[in-house]
Amino acid sequence: MHILVTGGAGYIGSHTCVAAYAAGHTITILDNLSNSSPESLNRVEKISGRRPRLVVGDIGDRSVVRSVLDSEKFDAVIHFAGYKAVGESVAKPWEYYQNNVAGTLVLLDELRRHGVRNFIFSSSATVYGNPDPKDLPLKETAPLSALNPYGATKLWLEEIMRAMAAADPAWHFLLLRYFNPVGAHESGLMGEDPAGIPNNLMPYITQVAVGRLKELTIFGNDYPTPDGTGVRDYIHVCDLAEGHVAALAKVADLPGCTAINLGSGSGVSVAQLVASFEKAIGRPLPHRFGPRRPGDAAACYADASKALQLLGWKTKRNSDDMCRDAWNWQSKNPNGYKNA
Ligand code: NAD
Ligand code: UD1
């Protein structure tokens, strides 16, 4: 298939390019490089021996989107492009709604004008809000809510796609709800390269390990979980990438709008992840316990059975693999793609 990958130079996008090349697909990327480096595509080429065509442009720029769609025929789109930082979305809500929602509306409009209707969307477990423990593990039918503008952009886009599919049966939307993507390609050539001080757990851990940050603060050890620390469903980014390839294989057979969780199906606590990481680096990781982070859920993990049933996909890699690969990437690239 020839796939248009928006946001393909980013963290999940670049790993998905590698997995899509392994499956024999052809790739064009549309990315404005607002949160990524084109160096990630040099790394894709090193691993895959193939280099995606990169169009540097914005999904909200109609003339750019139109010229990309006029230039080639695409069988499907994987739509990663968007802003993703929860805290920043609270400070800059207009920018989040503009970029994520308004940008996607332009993209969808040009796609329907060009007759491209196989669409795989990067949604998030954030659409489950702060889940009620009785709903764990979360099925796709669990109640949805948004706790911040970032979450609202995902929820609204899902809603827009549900309505568009109901109005026009030619659409095939797969809403992939990612749980907590972490880790890196096993080569150590590609990984997560967040700008500024990371908010998320794994990049914070790796930057402490490499000496860029002093110590990890574990947010809360008094949750009603087995060891008192927060429980999440971490998913290796290469498993997630392979989930997209599985979705590409099935999207044409799934008309309408289908939400699918991409997670491992099991919960891992912060303390367990830190222990796995310490095993990977062979030394203790400086850390201390601090208060809970406002808005955090005690536990959030997927029921991953629908992905297995519909896509024939499940995760293969465990927490030890995630920590080993995240460390391999960070230790070989202490400053990410900068100075590469
Ligand atoms: P990322 O920031 O590394 O990648 C996003 C890419 O989109 C970047 O390369 C950025 O330059 C590009 N981009 C942003 N706005 C754009 C625009 N208007 N036009 C063109 N390109 C644009 O993020 P990621 O971690 O790879 O996430 C990819 C997608 O998955 C996002 O939509 C994100 O919300 C979603 N998601 C991510 C996570 C996670 O933890 N990483 C979890 C759930 C969902
Ligand atoms: C966060 C986002 C969520 C998004 C998800 C994607 C928030 C509030 N939520 O979820 O919308 O979909 O990322 O991956 O930002 N932790 C620490 N110390 C740290 C950082 C995190 O103890 O320095 C803990 C957290 O309390 C949590 C766990 O680690 O229990 C995971 O945190 P994080 O990586 O930020 O992900 P989420 O909070 O699950």
* Mutation pick for ligand 1 pocket among 43, 54, 84 (CB with most ligand atoms within 8 Å): 84
- Whether the pTM exceeds 0.95: the reply is yes
Check residue 82 and give its pLDDT: 98
Q: How far is CA 310 from the centre of its chain?
A: 20
Check residue 196 and give its pLDDT: 87
Strand 287-290 and strand 216-219: the pairing is parallel
Ligand 2 atom 4 nearest Cα: 126
**What 3-state class would DSSP assign to 314?**
coil
Of all ligands present, the nearest one to the C-alpha of 180 is: 2
Ligand 2 atom 9 nearest Cα: 86
The string of DSSP codes covering 125-148 is GGGB-S--GGGPSBPTTS--B-SS
What is the CA(279)–ligand 1 centre distance, in A?
Answer: 30
Rg of the chain over Cα atoms, rounded to whole angstroms, equals 19
Q: Which of 96, 150, 234, 337 is catalytic?
A: 150
Distance CA 125, CA 129 (A): 8
Does residue 223 have an active-site annotation? no
Check residue 282 and give its pLDDT: 97
pLDDT, mean of each 10-residue run, the chain (340 residues)? 98 98 98 96 98 98 98 98 95 98 98 98 97 97 97 98 98 98 98 91 96 97 97 98 98 98 98 97 98 93 98 98 97 88
Q: Is the CB of 4 under 6 A from ligand 1?
A: no
- What CA–CA distances, in Å, run from 76 to 39, 63, 263, 306? 25, 20, 23, 21
Strand 26-31 and strand 53-56: the pairing is parallel
Contacts of 312 (CB under 8 A, 6+ apart): 246, 250
Q: Is the CB of 181 under 6 A from ligand 1?
A: yes
